[in-house]
């Protein structure tokens, strides 16, 4: 992408500067256009967290493609949602004696032998569990950014440093991004987010879940975003998140009517399995002033 290539020099300069680890608490301005986030890629149509789903999400012009990152037995970063391999691969047929088939119990070489597409549709037979590096390679060919969820990082000692190291090898991902349309790292593990923010303070981060309104001030000291289940994204809660200088991107929203409601509630982004549907709703719906 041209804007990423152009940003490499700026990103390299950024790494030589001293960056404060405090997250700004200035009130966030509601965005005029809602960020379209493809959940696990365009996962309504292609097998989630595969390169096929990532590619389709980008083709549907999602602003961000969301993926889940975990770690193999040999400490390689792979993209898969569940902490076990059974739901989205044929691991039970390939390795019947290895229950409960945890991601952390298999090497990358073993995981790469699995079919990660047939469970969704026979057309995707042979799709594989991608590495984190492969997803970055794929997205670098597109106009879409990345929403990276660290899945159950408490299971994987050192994963924060490995994710940060992979990103640091690619300066185009390290550019400042106040509009959060390029790279965001999120997790349900808020301690991980606090730690990751300390590692890469220039990278936007978000907590998954819904902190209470009393917790928002503390969360805002280390997080740029609050990304809750859509049921929490009431007008009052959205306003409270904005008052603490953070953005809010609820998940997982596939119903057009609910998309319109959340846009009216002034969310900053929406995470959806159907980025094509969401794109049309964003285009046709304007938040009330």
Active site residues: 39, 81
Contact present, 201 and 37 (Cβ < 8 Å): no
The pair of structure tokens assigned to 263 is 């846009």
Q: How far is CA 212 from CA 25, 209, 236, 238, in A?
A: 17, 10, 12, 12
**Comparing C-alpha atoms, which of 32, 76, 34 is closest to residue 272?**
34
- How far apart CA 119 and CA 167 sit, in angstroms, is 31
Tokens 């991608």 belong to: 130
67 phi, psi to nearest 5 deg: -135, 165
Contact present, 35 and 281 (Cβ < 8 Å): no
3-state secondary structure of 286: coil
Residue count of the chain, please give it.
Answer: 289
- How far apart CA 244 and CA 24 sit, in angstroms, is 9
CA 127 to chain centre: 21
The pair of structure tokens assigned to 45 is 């149509």
The pair of structure tokens assigned to 265 is 């509630």
Label the pairing between strands 64-71 and 77-79.
antiparallel
Question: Cα-Cα-Cα-Cα dihedral of 253, 258, 263, 265, to 10°?
Answer: -110
Angle at 141 (CA atoms; ends 132, 68), nearest 5 degrees: 25
């Amino acid at each position: 992408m041209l804007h990423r290539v152009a940003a490499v020099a700026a990103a390299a300069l950024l790494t030589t500067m001293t960056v404060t680890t405090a997250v700004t608490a200035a009130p966030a301005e509601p965005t005029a256009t809602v960020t379209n986030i493809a959940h696990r890629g365009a996962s309504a149509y292609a097998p989630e967290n595969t390169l096929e789903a990532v590619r389709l999400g980008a083709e549907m012009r999602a602003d961000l493609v969301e993926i889940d990152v975990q770690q193999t037995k040999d400490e390689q970063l792979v993209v898969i949602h569940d902490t076990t391999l059974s739901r989205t691969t044929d691991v039970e047929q390939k390795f019947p004696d290895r229950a409960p088939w945890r991601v952390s119990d298999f090497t990358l070489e073993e995981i790469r032998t699995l079919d990660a597409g047939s469970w969704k549709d026979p057309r995707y037979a042979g799709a594989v569990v991608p590495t984190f590096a492969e997803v970055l390679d794929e997205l670098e060919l597109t106009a879409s950014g990345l929403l990276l969820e660290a899945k159950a990082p408490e299971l994987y000692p050192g994963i924060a440093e490995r994710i940060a190291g992979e990103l640091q090898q690619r300066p185009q991902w390290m550019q400042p991004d106040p509009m959060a349309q390029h790279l965001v790292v999120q997790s349900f593990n808020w301690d991980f987010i606090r730690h990751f923010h300390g590692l890469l303070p220039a990278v936007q981060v978000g907590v998954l879940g819904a902190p209470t309104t009393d917790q928002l001030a503390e969360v805002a000291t280390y997080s740029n975003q609050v990304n809750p289940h859509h049921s929490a994204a009431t007008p009052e809660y959205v306003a409270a998140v904005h008052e603490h200088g953070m953005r809010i991107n609820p998940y997982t929203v596939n119903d057009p009517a609910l998309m319109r409601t959340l846009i009216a509630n002034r969310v900053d982004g929406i995470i959806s399995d159907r980025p094509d549907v969401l794109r049309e709703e964003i285009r046709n719906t304007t938040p009330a002033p």
